């Protein structure tokens, strides 16, 4: 009797980390590719389009975190509580954010060392278009230069990674709340 009840589940055992690891790697690679395309094609041409596309990449990652939770729910049999969904999403966030952060560091440090200068020029150019006073431009330029120098230390890179994890986790929790599905309550 017990063999027939569990026959469907024995064909493929559930592994709790399969979906989150695969999705984390996928989201990380997609994010790194899209960010690279953004740096190469939009940043030199149109700074506002660069900012918009940066936002679009961020939203795409959040949507894929929701997909991660939904796939985990499907893998466990159609029902998942918020804790289980968030665990899967958080693992995907850890992996994808790490990949995107490491790639961003490598890209800015070794592949395109002028990237921060391009972003600075775009920011200041946008401020000029909005008729910011010269004092504001000078202040923004000085702050940008100070941030560039401090951002190259390992401590600040780890701090930025931790801030990214916290922000992504907030959206990940919202995704977990959306994809959770409790089993129906059976009346006796």
7-49 per-position pLDDT tens digit? 444 456 778 899 999 999 999 999 999 999 999 999 999 999 9
* Structural domain includes residue 3: no
How far are the Cα atoms of 56, 58, 176 from residue 85, in angstroms, in the given order?
24, 20, 5
| Average pLDDT for the chain | 89
C-beta of residue 107 within 8 angstroms of C-beta of residue 31:
no
The model's confidence at residue 183, banded by pLDDT at 50, 70 and 90, is confident
Q: Answer whether residue 75 is part of any domain.
A: yes
pTM: 0.86
According to DSSP, the residues that pair with 181 across neighbouring strands are: 80
pLDDT at 74 over 70: yes
What is the rounded average pLDDT of the residues 146-173? 86
Total structural domains within the chain? 1
Range of the domain at 62: 16-179
Whether residue 89 is contained in a domain is answered as yes
Residue 3 has a pLDDT of: 44
74 belongs to a structural domain: yes
What is d(CA 103, CA 52) in angstroms, rounded to the nearest whole number?
20
Mean pLDDT of 147-158: 77
Percent over 90 (pLDDT), the chain = 63
Instruction: Give CA–CA dist 179/5, Å, rounded.
Output: 27
Q: Is 9 contained in some domain?
A: no
CA 97 to chain centre: 5
Structure tokens at 2: 């017990």
Lowest-confidence segment of 46-60, 68-82, 135-149 by average pLDDT: 135-149
Whether the pLDDT of residue 87 is over 50: the answer is yes
The 10s digit of each residue's pLDDT in 114-140 is 998 899 899 899 989 989 899 988 998
| 100 assigned to some structural domain | yes
């Amino acid at each position: 009797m017990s063999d027939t009840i569990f026959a469907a589940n024995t064909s493929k055992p559930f592994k709790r980390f399969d979906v989150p690891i695969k999705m984390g790697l996928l989201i990380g690679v997609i994010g790194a590719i899209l960010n690279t395309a953004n740096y190469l094609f939009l940043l030199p041409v149109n700074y506002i389009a660069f900012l918009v596309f940066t936002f679009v990449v961020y939203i795409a990652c959040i949507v894929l975190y929701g997909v991660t939770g939904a796939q985990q729910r499907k893998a466990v049999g159609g029902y998942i509580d918020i804790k289980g969904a968030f665990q899967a999403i958080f693992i995907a966030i850890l992996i994808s954010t790490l990949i995107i952060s490491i790639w961003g560091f490598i890209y800015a440090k070794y592949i395109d060392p002028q990237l921060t200068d391009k972003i600075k020029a775009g920011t200041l150019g946008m401020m000029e278009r909005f008729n910011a006073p010269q004092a504001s431009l000078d202040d923004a330029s000085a702050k940008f230069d100070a941030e560039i120098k401090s951002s190259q230390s390992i401590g600040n890179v780890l701090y930025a990674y931790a801030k990214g994890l916290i922000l992504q986790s907030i959206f990940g929790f919202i995704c977990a709340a959306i994809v959770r599905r409790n089993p129906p309550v059976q009346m006796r």
